[in-house]
């Protein structure tokens, strides 16, 4: 694609990066067919190619963002299905991240929209605030229908509908510090406990520690580590996102330079995609660029890491049919396609793929709150595809997808690592009824 940025415009790192990415696009349109929002709406402006054109025009004009492009960028799930399809290697993720930051810096959204986005950014990345908000949401749940009657307040209704009925208290394995293995030490990793995992399903982190410990891996949950920053990053709130990124880099580098780390383990693929991008996000920060690169190079999804170390110790065949839902951040963001399924099969489960598996379930960070109608359509479509496989269990490697899918089905939706833990003799996941 030809671009026409002036030499002055190209002085800006944002425009330089956008120019490099835009020039790779040959407007073939292959990406449109696999874009969930294009599949639903059939509108070129809600396709990757259409968004790329709109971003190009916005940046070339050198002006602030308007309501039109904001609407079409807000409807993008950042699922990155377009990047998997694109034959020219267009880095849509970095392009849309820059466009969102530009929208945030230059466009004044309606008041309620601004307030909601601010509240989400001030609450969700902080486990204690998030826990309080969930408790309040349980009390306010009867009001969900009222909010749904006003289009500007629909995100509030969606938030209440998604809040879980009960919240489990974290156990000792969720605590900050070192979790040693009883076996001969064969490695040392840090575990990102995450803001959503640690509040919504701490059992995921605890299963992760148990599985790693069983193979002799020492697990550290470092003090000072927090949200990966992806929530604010996807809202275009770069300052808040980068503060969180730097805090995590500091926490992990203290371990790297202390007792050492073989890997940084992530068990929520949405966070994994972001942490693997820290090197890019901090590339212009002289004090952090190298450290962030080291962090990204050490980062592994837990299934990716367990595949590398060849996990064993499974008991008998499980005789259960597990439909594996591959999160977009897993298959498109991190290109991890086989490791989780291979692990489940090794653990003795019968593993089945989801038809149309490349399409997003509608979770996408806070998309199911901010764009609840489109998200609901995608959820219904995904669950209908999953139902065709007659699963006894649905497995996924991302808490956002787990919450989204569980809100529309009675089939237990369980994190891959909890199933692996169970197959090794760990506790039966609470969602599986006797
Ligand atoms: S598939 Fe790639 S090159 Fe083709 S239009 Fe989409 S982004 Fe551009
Ligand atoms: S990230 Fe997903 S929703 Fe956004 S343009 Fe690409 S395929 Fe479409």
**Ligand nearest to the Cα of 30, by number:** 1
> What is the helix (H) or strand (E) element at residue 353, kind and residue range?
strand 350-353
Exposure string of 41-77, with b = 16+ CB inside 10 Å and e = fewer, is beeebbbbbbbbbbbbebbbeeeebeeebbebbbbbb
54 lines ligand 2 (CB under 6 A): no
Say yes or no: CB of residue 53 within 6 Å of ligand 2: no
Q: How far is the CA of 83 from the centre of ligand 1 (A)?
A: 8
Q: What tokens were used for 57? A: 């025009």
The confidence score (pLDDT) of residue 315 equals: 74
276 CA → ligand 2 middle, Å: 19
**Which of 1, 20, 31 has most ligand 1 atoms within 8 Å of CB, for mutation?**
31
Q: From the CA of 80, give the closest atom in ligand 2.
A: 1
Ligand 2 centroid to 48 CA: how many Å? 6
Ligand 2 in contact with 341 (CB < 6 A)? no
- Closest residue CA from atom 8 of ligand 2: 35
Summarised one tens digit per residue, pLDDT across range 406-434 is: 999 999 999 999 999 999 999 999 998 76
Residue 145 predicted with pLDDT over 80: no
For ligand 2, whether the C-beta of 130 sits within 6 Å is no
Q: Which of 30-34, 149-153, 303-307, 355-359 has the lowest mean pLDDT?
A: 149-153
With left for phi above 0 and alpha for psi between -120 and 50, is residue 432 left, alpha or beta? beta
Atom 2 in ligand 1: residue holding the nearest Cα:
86
Per-residue confidence (pLDDT) for residue 434, from 0 to 100:
65
Query: CA torsion, points 53, 39, 93, 29, in degrees to nearest 10?
Result: -50
pLDDT at 165 > cutoff 90: no
Q: What is the pLDDT of residue 311?
A: 83
Ligand 2 in reach of 76 Cβ (< 6 A): yes
Average pLDDT value over all residues in the chain: 95
In eight-state DSSP terms, residue 388 is T
* pLDDT classification of 217: cutoffs 50, 70, 90: very high
* Nearest alpha carbon, ligand 1 atom 1: 86
Confidence of residue 141 (pLDDT cuts 50, 70, 90): confident
Using DSSP's 3-state secondary structure scheme, residue 313 falls into coil
pTM here is 0.95
Pocket flag, ligand 2, residue 161 (CB < 6 Å): no
By percentage, how much of the chain surpasses pLDDT 90?
88
């Amino acid at each position: 694609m030809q671009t026409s940025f002036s030499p002055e415009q190209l002085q800006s790192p944002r425009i330089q990066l956008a120019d490099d990415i835009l020039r790779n696009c040959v407007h073939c349109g292959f990406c449109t067919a696999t874009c969930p929002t294009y599949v639903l709406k059939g509108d070129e402006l809600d396709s990757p190619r259409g968004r790329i054109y709109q971003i190009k025009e916005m940046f070339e004009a050198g002006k602030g963002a308007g309501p039109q492009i904001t609407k079409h960028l807000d409807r993008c799930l950042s699922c990155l299905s377009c990047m998997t399809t694109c034959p020219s290697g267009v880095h849509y993720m970095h392009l849309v991240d820059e466009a969102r930051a530009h929208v945030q810096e230059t466009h004044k959204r309606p008041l309620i929209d601004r307030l909601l986005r601010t509240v989400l950014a001030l609450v969700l990345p902080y486990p204690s605030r998030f826990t309080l908000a969930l408790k309040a949401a349980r009390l306010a749940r009867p009001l969900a229908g009222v909010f749904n009657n006003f289009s500007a307040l629909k995100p509030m209704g969606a938030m209440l509908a998604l809040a879980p009925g009960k919240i489990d208290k974290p156990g000792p394995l969720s605590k900050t510090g070192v979790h040693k293995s009883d076996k001969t030490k064969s490695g040392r990793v840090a575990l990102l406990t995450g803001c959503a995992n640690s509040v919504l399903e701490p059992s995921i982190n605890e299963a992760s520690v148990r599985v790693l410990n069983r193979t002799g891996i020492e697990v550290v949950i470092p003090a000072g580590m927090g949200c990966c920053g992806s929530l604010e990053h996807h809202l275009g709130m770069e300052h808040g996102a980068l503060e969180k990124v730097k805090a995590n880099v500091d926490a992990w580098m203290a371990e790297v330079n202390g007792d050492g780390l073989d890997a940084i383990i992530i068990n929520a693929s949405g966070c994994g995609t972001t942490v693997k991008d820290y090197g890019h996000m901090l590339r212009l920060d002289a004090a952090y660029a190298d450290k962030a690169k080291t962090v990204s190079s050490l980062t592994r999804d837990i299934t990716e890491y367990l595949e590398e170390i060849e996990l064993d110790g499974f008991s008998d065949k499980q005789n259960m049919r597990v439909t594996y839902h591959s999160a977009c951040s897993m298959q498109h963001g991190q290109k991890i396609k086989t490791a989780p399924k291979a692990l489940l099969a090794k653990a003795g489960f019968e593993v089945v793929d989801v038809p149309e598996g490349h399409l997003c379930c509608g979770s996408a960070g806070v998309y199911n709150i901010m764009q609840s109608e489109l998200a609901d359509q995608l959820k219904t479509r995904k669950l209908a595809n999953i139902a065709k496989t007659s699963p006894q269990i649905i497995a996924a490697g991302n808490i956002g997808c787990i919450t989204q899918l569980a809100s529309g089905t009675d089939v237990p939706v369980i994190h891959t690592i909890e199933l692996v833990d169970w197959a090794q003799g760990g506790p039966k996941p609470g969602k599986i009824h006797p």
